[in-house]
Amino acid sequence: MISYDSFILDNGLKVFVHQDFSTPTAAVNIVYNVGSRDEEEHKTGFAHLFEHLMFGGSKNIPSYDTPLQKVGGENNAFTSPDITNFYISLPAVNLETAFWLESDRMMALSFDQKVLDVQQKVVIEEFKQRYLNQPYGDVWLKLRPLAYQVHPYRWATIGKEISHIENAVMDDVRNFFYKHYLPNNAILVVAGPVQVEEVKQLAKKWFEPIPAGKLTPRNLPKEPIQTSARFLEVEAKVPSDALYKVYHTKGRHEGDFNAIDLASDILGRSKSSRLYNQLVKENHIFNSVNAYVTASLDPGLLIIQGNLNKGVSIEEGDAAVQAVLDEFLKNPVSEEELQKVKNQAESTLVFSEVELLNRAMNLAFAANAGNVEYVNQESGKIQAVTVDDISTQSQLILKKENCSTMYYRAG
């Protein structure tokens, strides 16, 4: 259980405080309720670009990292389709430095053209290195638009194409900032050896003067139910052939999500999973194979992916995966098998809460999803999953007509 206190500032900023006096370090996490799903189809990659721009100087602070490093702090950030997250770890005695830095860039970026120019080049280079010039790097640039037809999950967080970042102008940047980077569109979590009243006074001092903005209601298109199998074949200079199969499934906090998550664990989480046992260990068809879910806020995907051994065709690999799935759907999962993946999931959950920063993040993500108590309900949801739940959800999800398959051939 992660304990917390909370309050809301007059400008709508929600603040959560998690006390832990066993460490001298404090963690400060701000999640903005904006990700790549909030972008326009012809202006993608902006949420990720903004993650970079937020370190390029704000209204009163030309260099974000310098003052933080002087007080022994470190920071980072990441963007997903659903959120943009910024976090700081620093000695608790210097907590106010984090409030000063984060509030200044929430209030206003510097909107310096030189900063935009530099960060555009950085993101473009990242696009090339990680997605275009790396083996299998473009997989999700191809798989997302195959699986999603209308929902903005159909483009990657980095963007749909480089030109969208290249063509970004300062007006685009300003509009995106003042639309999404608002106190009433953010969650602030402070964790560590702190007093609630101390955090409240700091929050009022540094964040409450920032005016609330007008929030635009999120009205994303709902992905229609997939009614027929989809297929894509590509070829590139990669070490070996690879197979990708994705199935539409539920959002992170929808009912039965945990049953789907555990089903993916049974299929391909570890070296004792069904796919690995049968296709890597026993039959030597794949040299690696796994299964997992995206756990996105809107309906996501269950993914099966594997790299084929030399001399084995993708068609053979696909048929072998389907045989494992057919067996999985035909024969009920045993209580022992289910308990094993429950134990694995519980272990992951427990270890995720060892680090103070992870606890702060988990609180922020749950609060952003609409109910901070999600953070303390996960264990109960995992244990509540039954064999029948696994069977029911697998029958619904792992249908051939709900599958998008990509053959990635080594050229």
Question: pLDDT at residue 19 above 90?
Answer: yes
Q: Is residue 218, in this structure, part of any structural domain at all?
A: no
pLDDT of residue 35: 97
Question: pLDDT at residue 135 above 90?
Answer: yes
Three-class secondary structure assignment of the chain: CCCCEEEECCCCCEEEEEECCCCCEEEEEEEECCCHHHCECCECCHHHHHHHHCCCCECCCCCCHHHHHHCCCEEEEEECCCCEEEEEEEEHHHHHHHHHHHHHHHHCECCCHHHHHHHHHHHHHHHHHHHHCCCCCCHHHHHHHHHCCCCHHHCCCCCCCHHHHHCCCHHHHHHHHHHHCCHHHEEEEEEECCCHHHHHHHHHHHCCCCCCCCCCCCCCCCCCCCCCCEEEEEEECCCCCEEEEEEECCCCCCCCHHHHHHHHHHHHCCCCCHHHHHHHHHCCCEEEEEEEECCCCCCCEEEEEEEECCCCCHHHHHHHHHHHHHHHHHCCCCHHHHHHHHHHHHHHHHHHCCCHHHHHHHHHHHHHCCCCCHHHHHHHHHHHCCHHHHHHHHHHHCCHHHEEEEEEEEC
- In this predicted model, what pLDDT tens digit does every residue of 145-179 receive, in sequence order? 999 999 999 999 999 999 999 999 999 988 999 99
Token code pair at residue 295: 């756990």
CATH of the domain at 295: 3.30.830.10
- In the chain, how many domains are there? 2
Q: Are residues 151 and 245 in the same domain?
A: no
pLDDT of residue 241: 98
Q: Are residues 169 and 262 in the same domain?
A: no
> How high does pLDDT run on average in the chain?
96
Q: Is residue 214, in this structure, part of any structural domain at all?
A: no
Q: Are residues 319 and 200 in the same domain?
A: no
Q: Are residues 193 and 260 in the same domain?
A: no
Residues 64-74 have a mean pLDDT of: 95
Q: Are residues 267 and 351 in the same domain?
A: yes
pLDDT of residue 334: 95
Domain finish residue from 173, 191, 206:
206
Question: pLDDT at residue 56 above 90?
Answer: no
Residues 36-56 have a mean pLDDT of: 93
Q: Is residue 154, in this structure, part of any structural domain at all?
A: yes
Express as a percent the part of the chain with pLDDT over 90.
93
Express as a percent the part of the chain with pLDDT over 70.
100
Give the number of other Cβ atoms within 10 Å of residue 116's Cβ: 21
Cβ pair 69, 88 in contact under 8 A = no
pLDDT of residue 57: 85
Domain finish residue from 206, 238, 261:
206
Residues 105-118 have a mean pLDDT of: 90
Q: Are residues 379 and 234 in the same domain?
A: yes
Residues 173-197 have a mean pLDDT of: 96
pLDDT of residue 108: 85
- In this predicted model, what pLDDT tens digit does every residue of 276-333 receive, in sequence order? 999 999 999 999 999 999 999 999 999 999 999 999 999 999 999 999 999 999 998 9
Domain finish residue from 206, 221, 254:
206
Pairing of β 230-236 and β 403-410: parallel
Q: Are residues 184 and 40 in the same domain?
A: yes
Q: Is residue 182, in this structure, part of any structural domain at all?
A: yes
C-alpha distances out from residue 247 to 29, 39, 166, 227, 253, Å: 33, 24, 33, 11, 18
pLDDT of residue 173: 87
Q: Is residue 299, in this structure, part of any structural domain at all?
A: yes
pLDDT confidence bin for 110, thresholds 50/70/90: confident
pLDDT of residue 59: 84
pLDDT confidence bin for 109, thresholds 50/70/90: confident
Q: How far apart are the C-alpha atoms of 264 and 278, rounded to whole Å? A: 15
pLDDT of residue 153: 98
More confident residue, 83 or 59: 83
Cβ pair 16, 9 in contact under 8 A = no
- In this predicted model, what pLDDT tens digit does every residue of 252-276 receive, in sequence order? 999 899 999 999 999 999 999 999 9
Question: pLDDT at residue 385 above 90?
Answer: yes
Q: Are residues 152 and 238 in the same domain?
A: no
Residues 356-375 have a mean pLDDT of: 97
For the annotated catalytic residues, the residue numbers are: 51
pLDDT confidence bin for 140, thresholds 50/70/90: very high
Q: Are residues 76 and 125 in the same domain?
A: yes
Token code pair at residue 43: 């202006």
pLDDT of residue 323: 98
Q: Are residues 295 and 405 in the same domain?
A: yes
Question: pLDDT at residue 357 above 90?
Answer: yes
Closest by CA to 158, choosing from 180, 181, 131, is 131
Three-class secondary structure assignment of 111-124: CCHHHHHHHHHHHH
pLDDT confidence bin for 218, thresholds 50/70/90: very high
Q: Is residue 95, in this structure, part of any structural domain at all?
A: yes
Give residue 290's domain range. 230-410
Q: Are residues 165 and 276 in the same domain?
A: no
Q: Are residues 261 and 162 in the same domain?
A: no
Q: Is residue 215, in this structure, part of any structural domain at all?
A: no
Q: Is residue 284, in this structure, part of any structural domain at all?
A: yes
Question: pLDDT at residue 111 above 90?
Answer: no
Residues 114-121 have a mean pLDDT of: 92
Amino acid at 112: D
